[in-house]
Chains A and B, each alone.
Chain A
């Protein structure tokens, strides 16, 4: 191991503050958490109401603009909230810039893909597909 002669203060200061707008993400985590409370209630109710429904019935359900809108909001807020949580977990447990950066880019990219895919599915159903 390399000899470490850096002063304790130098080590404590490190690279200083990132000033990367983290407070905004911190706020969005809380905002999406609050929004997800009614959205999840609606979602659970929707799942129960449509349990065992046929493809045509589901399609008709999402044909109602409000149902499609609420579903898309649930997807967007849920993914945003889930991914921010996951990013924090990565920051906590994956140390080392290379590993962390790879995951910090890959995870949101996958989330965007998943989000677009799910929204397209809802739209196709809503439009009678």
Chain B
């Protein structure tokens, strides 16, 4: 059954306040969700005030600065710091996005940072992605063929066939979209969610793949695919500017066409 209130242990308390450094010319406050499973305490919001004149332009720069110079226990994922690895996804100023692509200047007032919503929290801004990765594996995101590739060559694909994959291959699996989707919040154990469905579409519409029948079979389900209610939070939030809602609509149509 759906739950509308937070369990007692998830309620967020007020945390520590780290004041602006002396002589800060452009102070900016970052209010950051903290949770340490080992402490047994409830999550809390810590506030850190930095001087923007002494900080890189992106939210990730601020997080790194805080970790390096103020509180080394602050925990978050990051790797490429240029929007390509998908690890630094989190909820900034109410929108799921990549911290390394989000300019601090875009946020008016305090910068509120939470982990991706509605996922179990491992620590601070690190959510548990186990189920999402398992769902990704369940759509078998690799090329499946019976016809062998031409000897010594790649599988041919026309420019038009290749174009069909534009807007799909660029996904960095940050899961901003899935974690923004109310349908995924309510039914995530069975609904695959926008990120996984966009990946499923990436293989369903690849002209080189020969497993479309079994791929569509696996999606022909009221929960796995059709739990999407075209809410569009996914498309709205995707930090790579992709359109998972359209990928899902294309998949629904593709399943429908099999009967008509």
A95 touches B2 (CB 8 A): yes
B134 touches A9 (CB 8 A): yes
Is B13 an interface residue, CB under 8 A from the partner?
no
Binary flags per residue of B194-227, CB closer than 8 Å to A gives 1, else 0: 0000000000000000000000011111111011
Roughly how many angstroms separate A9 CA and B1 CA in the complex, as a whole number? 23
A12 touches B186 (CB 8 A): no
Q: Which of B36-44, B101-109, B252-260 lies on the face that meets chain A? A: B252-260
Known: A18-B222, A92-B227. 12 other contacts (CB 8 A): A7-B134, A9-B137, A11-B131, A12-B135, A12-B138, A16-B221, A23-B255, A23-B258, A23-B259, A26-B252, A93-B2, A93-B186
B137 touches A23 (CB 8 A): no
Nearest B residue to A12, CB-CB? B134
**A residues whose Cβ falls under 8 Å from a Cβ of B:** 7-9, 11-14, 16-24, 26-27, 88, 91-96
A23 and B220 in contact, given A92-B186, A93-B2, A94-B1 (Cβ under 8 angstroms): yes
A96 touches B133 (CB 8 A): no
A23 touches B252 (CB 8 A): yes
Roughly how many angstroms separate A22 CA and B256 CA in the complex, as a whole number? 9
**Contacts of B176-198 to chain A: CB distance below 8 A:** 183, 186-187, 189-190
Nearest B residue to A14, CB-CB? B190
B256 touches A88 (CB 8 A): no
Roughly how many angstroms separate A83 CA and B155 CA in the complex, as a whole number? 48
A11 and B134 in contact, given A18-B221, A20-B222 (Cβ under 8 angstroms): yes
A17 touches B189 (CB 8 A): no
In the assembled complex, how far is the CB of residue B205 from the closest CB belonging to chain A, in whole angstroms?
17
The residues of A that contact B134 with a CB separation of less than 8 Å are 7-9, 11-12
Binary flags per residue of B210-250, CB closer than 8 Å to A gives 1, else 0: 00000001111111101101000000000000000000000
The residues of A that contact B135 with a CB separation of less than 8 Å are 12
